[in-house]
Amino acid sequence: MAQQQGDGMEYVADDNEMAEAEDDIYFRGRVFGDSESESDDDEYDSMENRMTDTTAAEARKGKDIQGIPWDRLSISREKYRQTRLEQYKNYENIPQSGELSEKECSLAFRGGKYYDFWQNTRSVKSTILHFQLRNLVWSTSKHDVYLVSGYSIIHWSSLSSKKSEILNVSGHVAPCEKHPGSLLEGFTQTQISTLAVRDNLLIAGGFQGELICKYIDRPGVSFCSRTTYDDNAITNAVEIYEHPSGAVHFMASNNDCGVRDFDMEKFQLSKHFSFSWPVNHTSLSPDGKLLVIVGDNPEGLLVDSQTGKTVKPLSGHLDYSFASAWHPDGHIFATGNQDKTCRVWDVRNLSKSVAVLKGNLGAIRSIRFTADGRFMAMAEPADFVHVYDAKSGFEKEQEIDFFGEISGVSFSPDTESLFIGVWDRTYGSLLQYNRRRNYKYLDCM
């Protein structure tokens, strides 16, 4: 991934990744306003005071799900959507990769209705530190979500509508437990690049190779480690999984070309694999035998999880990849790329992709499957999350359409909820969609 790091907690973005800030009528807090009597700051403060959440009931009555007052603006939602589609510039490491990938793309029917809008919470604002890394939202139940907001990791309960700070890394963070290999001196002002939460274990990765491990049900931090002191040290992704032995492990993908596996029972590094290019994302197969490795190379890899040796290269993408995920059946997996596509693969026949799914605006930065394997969500950098029906062979999709940079997407473990983090100075929020169920016995009543 690109080595871009700002001072402090500035949002790190490339000019090519988004529409030009000055021309964009909506992003960067330019709240659509055309009043010349107010300064930008006054206008922003005024809108802050009027911010309200949006419920499903209000949306059914016509309120915009993000609370954007289209009726008071000089442009309609439809016109602004068209402007975004025309002006958004996808970031590419390999020129014209998005254009060249179009000829292979599968056409999906867009009439799917799998998840219904439930609520938009404006009081929860997720942030993004690096424009290519979008794994900053995690759900541990249909009511519990964890996300990054500045230097804080926040827990949001949709049941009680309350948020709480789980971890603050703006100052000094050090482990309160002693384990071999743990950096007892800890870290100061960690810039969080990636996040993973599973059950009670939370792991945050940082720009300098930091790994901070915290059990949510315990006070303090349990373990700190720096994966590398290399200059190119960004922790790009973390995946938590259960080892066949029953122990909890996590895998960290790093810009120094390494993938490291940590045993959280022993709090020790158990494996370290090195590759010839920076690794942006790694996914472990459900049986624990295979790893999908993607990074700063158009070609991904399927490797043996025990030895790190390549089983099969994954050829087809035209740019760098930043997302991957396995279907629970252990046969199907998907990869997301800056060529604007998500490729679906079958491990039993890797000669070609099962499907090539196209984004609207830009790179596919995040991919998630539901625990039952029925649906797959793929997130673009902004504005669109696509939910595909895996059971139909990825031929049907629901397109979730909004405005804002996407910090992450997460299905709840029971598949009932889908959470989407939206970063924007004014309309930053957490979107929640709930799975549509057909209860025919209720219709009869």
Helix and strand numbers (H, E) in the chain are 5, 30
pLDDT (0 to 100) of residue 428 = 94
Using the predicted structure, report yes or no on whether residue 31 has a pLDDT greater than 80.
Answer: no
Structure tokens at 391: 């059971």
Q: How many CB atoms lie within 10 A of CB 366?
A: 30
- Separation of alpha carbons 272 and 122, rounded Å: 41
Question: What's the whole-number mean pLDDT along residues 25-39?
Answer: 35
Using the predicted structure, report yes or no on whether residue 35 has a pLDDT greater than 80.
Answer: no
- Separation of alpha carbons 239 and 138, rounded Å: 11
First to last CA, the chain: 56
Bridge partners of 314, per DSSP, are 300
Q: How many CB atoms lie within 10 A of CB 111?
A: 9
Against a cut of 0.75, is the pTM above it? yes
Q: Residue 389: left if φ>0, alpha if ψ -120 to 50, beta else—which one? A: beta
Question: What's the whole-number mean pLDDT along residues 290-313?
Answer: 97
Kind plus residue range of the DSSP H or E element containing 189: none
What are 75-116's pLDDT values in tens digits?
A: 999 999 999 999 999 999 999 999 999 888 988 888 899 999
pLDDT (0 to 100) of residue 111 = 86
Q: Do 334 and 342 contact (CB within 8 A), yes or no?
A: yes
pLDDT (0 to 100) of residue 4 = 56
Q: How many CB atoms lie within 10 A of CB 95?
A: 9
> Quick one: which of 363, 399, 423 has its CA closest to 27?
423
- Separation of alpha carbons 253 and 237, rounded Å: 5
Question: What's the whole-number mean pLDDT along residues 307-334?
Answer: 97
> Quick one: which of 275, 280, 229 has its CA closest to 254?
280
Q: Do 427 and 66 contact (CB within 8 A), yes or no?
A: yes
Rg for the chain (alpha carbons), in Å?
A: 21
Bridge partners of 331, per DSSP, are none
The band of 51, judged by pLDDT with boundaries at 50, 70 and 90, is low
What are 220-276's pLDDT values in tens digits?
A: 999 999 988 888 899 999 999 999 889 999 999 999 999 999 999 989 999 999 999
Q: Do 2 and 15 contact (CB within 8 A), yes or no?
A: no
- Separation of alpha carbons 124 and 428, rounded Å: 8
Q: How many CB atoms lie within 10 A of CB 44?
A: 18
